[in-house]
Amino acid sequence: MPARTSRKPKPSVTLKDAFETEFARREMERRAREEAERLQQEQDLAKAEALFDAINSDAKFLKAHGLTVDRRRYTVSVDHANFRIAAYFEDGQASVTSADKRFASPGAATPRKQESVATVEDAVRIIAQFLADEIR
């Protein structure tokens, strides 16, 4: 009697197939995360630009109070000889800080106050409050 060869059934999924599927899934997730981050950065930059435009719109007011306005990427700074008020946009929020420059080494003003806001309008309102506190 000839020996019977038993055939094993072919697996429905191979390691290679499972690996390639998992690798493709992770690549799609990575691309989605990168796209979401890129879109968020665009929104943060647009908010910083809008805040800069709103603050910088009245040159006479700024000059009368000895203020200068600067924007660097996601940060808008309102500078005075004695203080700095800055708003930094990240992840759809703005962190608005007020720092005293009188007792700090140059470029190292330590924040005294900090507020987090979600909109450009709220950032303008908080900057105005901090400015009113500084200019008495």
Summarised one tens digit per residue, pLDDT across range 37-49 is 999 999 999 999 9
For the segment 69-73, the average pLDDT, to the nearest whole number, is 95
The count of other CB atoms within 10 Å of the CB of residue 113 is 15
Rounded distance between C-alpha atoms, residue 88 and residue 86, angstroms: 7
Q: How many domains does the chain have?
A: 1
- Whether 8 maps to a domain, the answer reads no
Q: Which residue range(s) make up the domain with 50?
A: 45-134
Residue 26 covered by a domain: no
For residue range 101-130, what is the model confidence (pLDDT) as tens digits? 776 655 555 667 899 999 999 999 999 999
pTM above 0.85, yes or no: no
Tell whether 76 is covered by a domain.
Answer: yes
Q: What are phi and psi of 112, to 5 degrees?
A: -100, -30
Q: How far apart are CA 42 and CA 89, in angstroms?
A: 11
Site of tokens 């990575």: 30
pLDDT single digits (tens) 90-102: 999 999 999 887 7
Element (H, E) at 128: helix 120-134
Rounded to 10°, the helix 15-55/120-134 angle is 50
For residue 72, is it within any domain? Answer: yes
